Structure 1
């Protein structure tokens, strides 16, 4: 601080030779004093404090308000940039439908194959292998215990080739559901692939690759909430009979083959037949009839989705 003609000058400040300069210098001194006292962290609070420092001087108060708006605009822009920089999970943003900056969106491929994968044995090695066969521009994230891949789709047939590579990589040990969409509809594609995978798992389908066309009946049945609720309530009493539930699960898993289900459960065929009759007593649906087994399978899926 420098002493000049009886007043103190801050470093970088020159002596004021006019009343206007003296007025500005006095206000700057008040601003510095306010800065030493301020303990807040919001621009609005700072503007209010500085406005009080400019009390009695409309011109200075107007400058403070204008400067405050500029400061807020600057901080808003900085915050948006910081948020964008911090969000490194681009695939997660696409899956959740979060808005992307224009330059990031423009950098996406025109079309993607969206793959939802339920690994039989979750682990980093399996994920690394999936990324390796799907290409270096593939985006990866995780949702609901599944690996989600956004794989750029090239010309005709590229999606099928990607599915083939993924299926071969999984070696028949895991479940894969896919959908294909343009970059403007990626969240819709993610929702479709995820729901297909959910139906596949709930329906006890064998491991492999699936699309919407493989679960059209299940999709149509479970999409209606009222139907889904009725189906779940119909089969829920079977949950109280552990052996019967396990029998129905094995029967469905055996693709409705009684011989195969009996072998899987290590029981006699007659024992299986008896349990299937008991399942009909509890649910009202005959699992040995085409209509009954379709109803029970749909009910199992509905009950699993509600769980």
Structure 2
């Protein structure tokens, strides 16, 4: 428009017309910038609401087309290694805090969802490469208190199982005051069982007790005796009438079969909990039927 000023106005009016054109173009530019800013703000608010809906749906175990559509709309890309971290949230989490948390999560995971529900902070991570480093660094963003991460899930839609384990672990973590931070939900299986977590009970039976029974070779008997006699190799050997080296060998086999080492106090506690719930999972044997003695002729 400014280039056409000499054509449409006399020379005396051209300065004022140019000034009017410049003022108008500036107002248009400011108005356009305001529109774009409002659109970006609206998009950010929409993304935040959508993220909150997805987190809530995953925690509830929802598996619907609507959830898949929301996940796609949010631009989620990760295809493997999904896990959930839970812990205490700051009392008044600010927008800058959430932004910093997202930035940090983006360094260690392909994708991340952030959820704050009351005093709980939930992180849903996808495509984590270095899990040990990621969990340790991200735990620093949580408020004081235990931080628990669940087992890896095969897909984002299956992450509800990881979330349930993590929340169960968070509830039970206070029973282990010296637990590391963060701590795996699977490292809290005994505390979770005592607090009434059925999934933890099933895990101990399936992954520890039944493999020990299937391995046979006296592993269950040796482990039980070793734990009952105060973790003494010699006392166990005397009780079972075997050599102490035999006890050592069987306890090593227990570690090979289960992945838990009975020579370490904490892992021995996990194994003892597995023996207890495993024995209780076996239906009691019916008492042998007793027949009255026949009268002799």
Q: TM-score, normalised by structure 2?
A: 0.39
Report the structure number with the largest CA radius of gyration: 1
